[in-house]
Chain A
């Protein structure tokens, strides 16, 4: 502090002290001292002022650059980035949805699904169901298992009908469950006591929606309904099960009401069992204890070459990782999630690459600006920040745009995947964090390289003009074009292959006529009146024939074992369907040896079996062995006829052995409608139904629709892949457009001179296109073998498949080339048509 001011202060203090009290003087002293801050208030042209005005300048330049003369480039960059970001975010949303299944259960870390493994000719097979004895047995034998619940899906066989007064409701999501259900799973029970709500055999728990549907005016609790021939009481109302749950149940019946509840058995294994372990249980140790237990219990029951094992899968793994057949609900193959994740990264990469390409290309133009800046004193850091800042600005804008696109596209994605994707779902912290993370990554990746390049320019090189044709830059640019088009070509190939395979699946001859075939659910009452119903139905001209079976031929799951006593005790696994005598005609199968069924009733001591060719081969018989003795799970009979092989399962699997036998455990009524207008036939069907089966609501399914469902996953994959291909191509095109425009502009002088010397526009266009064609050609060359290999791998999951033919590869290549030519050509033509007087004007 200045000497004189200190002196003044001192003198003042002295004089004041003489007049006033110490305290007052000190306070005033404080005031005077503090007032001296004013001395530092004097503004001088300093650091802060400099930065402020520079910032304003940078903004102006950035704005001018982006909006002004280079508006097209900016738009291209913006569009590409926005698309890339939108795609990644959509895929992120989907992945997040799929991985979030079953997370709402409180005890999810302790709940395990029981899966059964058993040996077949194809090795060990895994199914998602288990025996009724597993849950109680494990609870008794293993201290780690503290609770368990068994679920039986009866809707799968014959959907139950609930009658309330005059109304009938067919329930397709009806399960029987042990009374421990609500103690293991965290499904909120709106009304009713979780401990007792399923104890009584006549109790029934329905969900909210059904409660409102059945009892619109009042309370559901305590009301009675008719289930088949029995009466049930509503004992509880539960909240609707969330979409992200592997359990999708509308009605719960008490397990105690089932006949099966009275005894524990190993066969049949029809139940979905879940076990609850105690906290901190040693799951590995538990798994080791299972085989000895199974040996003890099953030792005598199983034959020599038969093997059975029990696996425990954590609840939260089931939706994505379970490859078991007959899981409780449709699983999502986690492989697809990985693939989509990879695609998201690829697409984002392509978009960033575009930005880098374009930015570095234009950097050459701005090199002079940068050089000048450096000459007048801009430091490296400043230049770097300037371009990073521009990149940040564009990226943020692109992110906002991308979010807008996501907003619009999300419902469509939900439709394609069949999942309930909503915006609320997306508004969770992990997703937003990831989105921000992606944005930051893009800023660094896309903005970093050009900014670095420009910041490290030496003014001399720039102003002399030698920066224009740097080798390194050209390498990178062309390499990036190759990468982009390589990826696009691969995606096109993938899409084409998937669609061709789907076509194939539709067109392939199944061995029976699946069109015009309708299936209706059956129950005891209908079975008893079967012949009457069939004759009533066939009286209508629109109905050709009717038959009953335990399963629809679209997907036969029933597993049995068959032996040929003459050849030995060896048991063979086969699929088998209980049918009636009209099955073969109604479905349209071909008998190649022996006879079809003729009689309605059969001799139960000597059941006639129809085997397909594969079954015959498996057992070791030939078509000359008609009459050979056979035993199917205890049913003794003989070979009555041989059917030509037909597909009774999805084309993922080869045709297996199949046995048909007559027994009245039917679940489906199969009706063949006459060719021609379908609505009339359905009306006739409905009329007959109302007359013969008034106790059931009229519901039907077309077999070709059921067949389609077998390939839902592939349909989805196809649609998604198409979408991705379009996006990837769009982005690649944008990149190429920008690059082509830029190159064309750069060479505009050269073009001008050539034109003056006599070249035509078209020659110019092909010259410019030729360069790019080289690179696209390279991209195609690299990606074709890769695509071929990868798609063949995907196709290997189908037992019946197309080959990745050269037509597909050629087609994809042509598409890529055409798109590239179109893009480049358009730009090239525009530049080539410029009159040389314009381009050669300033030199």
Chain B
């Protein structure tokens, strides 16, 4: 079976999920990403990415407790899986190797 690919945006979302560890839920991810990327990330894009990744098996989710806040709606927390971690590693390794291939000459401007 082919390995599922990790898109660019998905990579960012997954990293943020990992960074927030157990506190990774919709809004927190959205705020964290928006700050880091310096642009507004829409809830739709975020949740679509999360759903895709869950299907591919990079993250798993669990529902939180009910609180009075948020109009009584529970939060959904996301956690990175081992598979997701491997995917991140792979991407990182690929990128790193490409960086290493660059001769110093190319970096002189």
Contact = CB atoms under 8 A, between A and B. Distances in A.
Interface of A: 2-12, 28, 31-32, 34-39, 41-42
Given A32-B43, A42-B51, 17 more contacts: A3-B74, A4-B76, A5-B26, A7-B26, A7-B71, A7-B74, A10-B70, A10-B71, A12-B30, A31-B40, A31-B42, A32-B42, A35-B44, A36-B43, A38-B48, A39-B47, A41-B48
Given A12-B27, A39-B51, A4 B73 contact: yes
Contact of A10 (B30, B40, B44, B73): B73
A18 to B, nearest CB: 14
B35 to A, nearest CB: 13
Contact of B69 (A2, A5, A11, A37): A11
5 contacts: A4-B73, A7-B74, A8-B27, A34-B44, A35-B43
B42 A35 contact: yes
B98 interface: no
B37 interface: no
A42 B27 CA distance: 22
Contacts of B63: 4
B6 to A, nearest CB: 17
Nearest to B49: A38
A11 B27 CA distance: 8
Contact of B26 (A8, A37, A42): A8
3 cross-chain pairs, A with B, having the tightest CB-CB distances, nearest first: A35-B44, A7-B73, A35-B42
B52 interface: yes
Contact of B73 (A6, A38, A41): A6
A38 B44 contact: yes
B45 interface: yes
B42 A42 contact: no
Contacts of B69: 11
Interface in B30-78: 30, 40, 42-45, 47-48, 51-52, 63, 69-71, 73-76
B95 to A, nearest CB: 26
Interface residues of B, number: 21
A569 B52 CA distance: 116
B48 A8 contact: no
A7 B25 CA distance: 10
A8 B25 contact: yes
A31 B43 CA distance: 9
Contact of B47 (A3, A12, A31, A36): A36
A142 B27 CA distance: 96
A163 to B, nearest CB: 95
A390 B70 CA distance: 60
A292 B98 CA distance: 115
Contacts of A28: 40
A574 B81 CA distance: 119
B48 A42 contact: yes
Nearest to B73: A7
Nearest to B43: A32
Contacts of A7: 26, 70-71, 73-75
A612 B45 CA distance: 110
A6 B26 CA distance: 10
A4 B44 contact: no
Contacts of B43: 5, 8-9, 12, 32, 35-36
Choose among A4, A9, A12, A39 the residue with the greatest number of B CB atoms under 10 Å from its CB: A4
A389 B51 CA distance: 42
A422 to B, nearest CB: 63
- Most-contacted residue by chain A among B26, B43, B74, B76 (CB, 10 A): B43
Contacts of B44: 32, 34-39
Contacts of B74: 3-4, 7
Nearest to A40: B48
A31 B45 CA distance: 11
Nearest to A39: B48
Contacts of B40: 28, 31
B102 to A, nearest CB: 35
A8 B30 CA distance: 9
A630 to B, nearest CB: 114
Contacts of A35: 42-45
A193 B75 CA distance: 94
Contacts of B75: 4, 7-8
Contacts of A36: 43-44, 47
For A10, A37, A38, the residue with the greatest tally of chain B CB atoms inside 10 Å of its CB is A38
A36 B75 CA distance: 17
B69 to A, nearest CB: 7
Nearest to B44: A35
A11 B28 CA distance: 10
A497 B56 CA distance: 85
